[in-house]
Structure 1
Amino acid sequence: MGTMSAQPEITQRDLRNRSKEIMDAVQNGQSFTVTRDGHRIGELVPLRGRRRFVPRSEFAALSRSASGVSLDAFRADQDVTAEQETGDPYAR
């Protein structure tokens, strides 16, 4: 499992009895190793935060290297998609 870090160990019983306290700690960035009968059985770790926004400078830098878009080709693709039949695929 590779858990040789300094994260605290908690027993299955601790997790059950102190779940709110432990979950609050996880939400605040703390990780734990969970044990049962003295054996490590898992890790309780916070999820990595997802970025919701990309800084304008980063977007601009990435946009400079993006390939060009042909407006005519884009419209043609939309027309082809819009012209497809939308009938009932289960009709006999």
Structure 2
Amino acid sequence: MSAQPEITQRDLRNKSKEIMDAVEHGQSFTVTRDGHQIGELIPLRRRRRFVNRDDFVAMSRNAPVVDLETFRRDQDAAADHEAGDPYDR
């Protein structure tokens, strides 16, 4: 059983505006033909919007402090130093 509403191919054709409006607002559908599920109609993920400086500062207010020396040591420990320069050919 599908967790999202099923619509027939005919409904998709005849009610496309209403269905597309619902998809635009986040609704997903399973499309059927002759009683068999044949596909899904799902909304695309929205791109992230730009966050202005004031919003970023407000969101970051409770972020933990990062010690740069510890961060660099962690990065060096995780880096593959044997890989060499990928641009050295």
Normalised by the length of structure 1, the TM-score is: 0.54
**In the alignment, structure 1 residue 40 sits paired with structure 2 residue 31:** no
Which aligned runs of 4 or more in structure 1 are off by greater than 4 angstroms? none
Q: Give 2:56's aligned amino acid.
A: R
Return the alpha-carbon distance in structure 2 between the equivalents of residues 21 and 51 of structure 1: 26
Larger Rg: 1
**In the alignment, structure 1 residue 49 sits paired with structure 2 residue 46:** yes
1:22 is aligned to: 19
Instruction: Give unpaired runs (5+ residues) of structure 1.
Output: 66-92
In the TM superposition, what is the alpha-carbon distance from 1:6 to its structure 2 partner? 2.0
In the TM superposition, what is the alpha-carbon distance from 1:52 to its structure 2 partner? 2.1
- Paired positions, count: 60
Superposed, 1:38-77 pairs within 5 Å as: 38-54=35-51, 56-57=56-57
Q: CA RMSD in A?
A: 2.3
Q: Percent identity?
A: 78
Superposed, 1:3-22 pairs within 5 Å as: 4-22=1-19
Normalised by the length of structure 2, the TM-score is: 0.56
SS of residue paired to 1:13? helix
